[in-house]
């Protein structure tokens, strides 16, 4: 019998087929088309990664222009992070932080995050990811106002096109209709205002009454909605309004935190300081799940003064020692390799590449970016901003994938664009490669 041929990654065709069938039978994928999975199997099965490249089971290599989910910031194959996890697992694999029990990795990581965060944000609560971080923020602000004798201050305002996650609170705050209407159960007391409209925000505050509003939450740069940058002065005005009406300002930095935009935190670009920063993804470059929030000294000192009983909120894995040890090592790598500055410089390079594509290709309209988050808008006629009858971004993203480049086609709410967020370790040659592949495919 002829020997079955192995691909260069060491997987035979029959092993591949077996994995496809097991996937279809047993694996319900997150944010995926169930129908597509059942008809075609998993789109790709990845097996390994190095630097900014990943390889699939058939041995084909892809430049990951999206850092998987905006999160593999230090790139793939960093053995130091594996070593940090192993060292911690050998020493103390897990230890709960409930009931004021503590351990070195959680203590040191909270101190390190406080050092990186804007000056007045100094105290950290840990979660396992972004959705939990935002849900924690929503509960925390309500608890805060209860302690301050204003229990009716519990409404949360967010913006249209925002993405804040999929737990009950974070999905209720999410402004992208597709996520909100996936089930018919968004929570009461969550409100969205038109993106960047100061008038709409003021009107809502007036209609609902400032004494009923706990917090306003916003991504400094909207990610999932399509890399959307705020107009000048938007956040200065938001900060003033929040101060005037005693509304806490939460910056959702799940994508933008820890260097992606060319600063430690995205909100630093806009000259204001929020009361709470929520983070996840980049804190461990996705090597292990971890998220959290950083609260202001003001909130912390009020909590210290007013809270008498137990703070009845904590996840089993809040402050997981192995996650925190990996987080510490990851932040050390970002600092030692100057990756925040690299994100800034390579972001400029990426944007220059997009601008060149805009000149070369009739369908490339607006291009934009900040640090290593960027997008190009696609139009049938860019002089009139006329869109194609049906969006072309998904087809283009699929063709880019065929050509070895991973990015994301964004079609939410009438848009048609490609979004990019390569790892922060990317260099000039690799940026040129991204532009070259897009040029060829366009």
| Residue ranges binding ligand PLP (CB under 6 A) | 129-131, 134, 163-165, 219, 223-224, 252, 254-255, 280, 291
Please, what is the minimum distance in Å from the beta carbon of residue 132 to ligand PLP? 7
Please, what is the minimum distance in Å from the beta carbon of residue 6 to ligand PLP? 35
Tell me whether residue 169 or residue 347 sits nearer to ligand PLP (CB atom): 169
Tell me whether residue 59 or residue 118 sits nearer to ligand PLP (CB atom): 118
Please, what is the minimum distance in Å from the beta carbon of residue 374 to ligand PLP? 15
* 177/428 Cα distance (integer angstroms): 37
- Residue 167: which residues within 8 A CB-CB, separation 6 or more? 131, 132, 134, 135
Tell me whether residue 159 or residue 239 sits nearer to ligand PLP (CB atom): 159
Please, what is the minimum distance in Å from the beta carbon of residue 251 to ligand PLP? 10
Tell me whether residue 252 or residue 268 sits nearer to ligand PLP (CB atom): 252
Please, what is the minimum distance in Å from the beta carbon of residue 161 to ligand PLP? 11
Please identify the residue of the shown chain whose CB is closest to the bound ligand PLP.
Answer: 130
Please, what is the minimum distance in Å from the beta carbon of residue 336 to ligand PLP? 26
Tell me whether residue 133 or residue 433 sits nearer to ligand PLP (CB atom): 133
Please, what is the minimum distance in Å from the beta carbon of residue 224 to ligand PLP? 5
Tell me whether residue 229 or residue 254 sits nearer to ligand PLP (CB atom): 254
Tell me whether residue 49 or residue 225 sits nearer to ligand PLP (CB atom): 225
Look-up of token digits 């390569």: 422
Please, what is the minimum distance in Å from the beta carbon of residue 385 to ligand PLP? 27
Tell me whether residue 223 or residue 292 sits nearer to ligand PLP (CB atom): 223
Tell me whether residue 363 or residue 417 sits nearer to ligand PLP (CB atom): 417
- Residue 83: which residues within 8 A CB-CB, separation 6 or more? 329
- Residue 234: which residues within 8 A CB-CB, separation 6 or more? 196, 198, 270
Please, what is the minimum distance in Å from the beta carbon of residue 140 to ligand PLP? 16
Which among 126, 128, 130 is positioned nearest to 69, based on CA atoms?
Answer: 130
């Amino acid at each position: 019998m002829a020997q079955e041929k192995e691909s260069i990654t060491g997987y035979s065709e029959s092993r591949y087929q077996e994995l496809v069938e097991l996937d279809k039978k047993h694996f319900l994928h997150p944010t995926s088309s169930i129908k597509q999975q059942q008809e075609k199997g998993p789109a790709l099965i990845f097996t390994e990664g190095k630097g900014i490249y990943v390889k699939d089971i058939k041995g084909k290599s892809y430049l990951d222009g999206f850092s998987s989910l905006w999160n593999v910031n230090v790139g793939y194959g960093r053995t130091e992070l594996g070593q940090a996890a192993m060292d911690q697992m050998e020493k103390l694999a897990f230890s709960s932080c409930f009931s004021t029990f503590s351990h070195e990795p959680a203590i040191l990581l909270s101190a390190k995050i406080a050092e990186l965060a804007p000056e007045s944000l100094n105290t950290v609560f840990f979660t396992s990811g972004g959705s939990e971080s935002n849900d924690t923020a929503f509960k925390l602000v309500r608890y805060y106002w209860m302690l301050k004798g204003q229990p009716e201050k519990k409404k949360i305002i967010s913006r249209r096109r925002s993405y804040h996650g999929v737990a009950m609170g974070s999905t209720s705050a999410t402004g992208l209709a597709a996520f909100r209407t996936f089930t018919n159960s968004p929570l009461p007391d969550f409100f969205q205002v038109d993106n960047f409209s100061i008038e709409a925000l003021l009107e809502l505050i007036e209609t609902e009454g400032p004494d009923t509003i706990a917090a306003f939450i916003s991504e400094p740069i909207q990610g999932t909605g399509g890399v959307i940058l705020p107009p000048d002065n938007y956040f200065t005005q938001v900060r003033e309004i929040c101060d005037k009406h005693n509304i806490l300002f939460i910056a959702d930095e799940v994508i933008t935190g820890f260097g992606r935009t060319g600063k430690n935190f995205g909100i630093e670009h806009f000259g204001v300081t929020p009361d709470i920063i929520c983070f996840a993804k980049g804190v461990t470059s996705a090597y292990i799940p971890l998220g959290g929030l950083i609260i202001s000294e003001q909130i912390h000192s009020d909590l210290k003064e007013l809270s008498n009983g137990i703070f009845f909120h904590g996840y089993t894995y809040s402050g997981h020692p192995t996650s925190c040890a990996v987080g510490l090592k990851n932040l050390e790598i970002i600092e030692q390799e100057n990756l925040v500055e690299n994100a800034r410089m390579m972001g400029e390079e990426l944007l220059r590449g997009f601008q060149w594509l805009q000149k070369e290709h009739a369908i490339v309209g607006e291009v934009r970016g900040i640090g290593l988050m960027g997008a190009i808008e696609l139009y049938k006629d860019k002089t009139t901003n006329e869109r194609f009858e049906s969006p072309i971004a998904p087809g283009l993203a699929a063709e880019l994938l065929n050509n070895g480049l991973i990015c994301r086609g964004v079609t939410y709410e009438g848009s048609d664009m490609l979004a990019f967020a390569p790892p922060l370790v990317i260099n000039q040659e690799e940026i040129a490669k991204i532009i070259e592949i897009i040029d060829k495919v366009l």
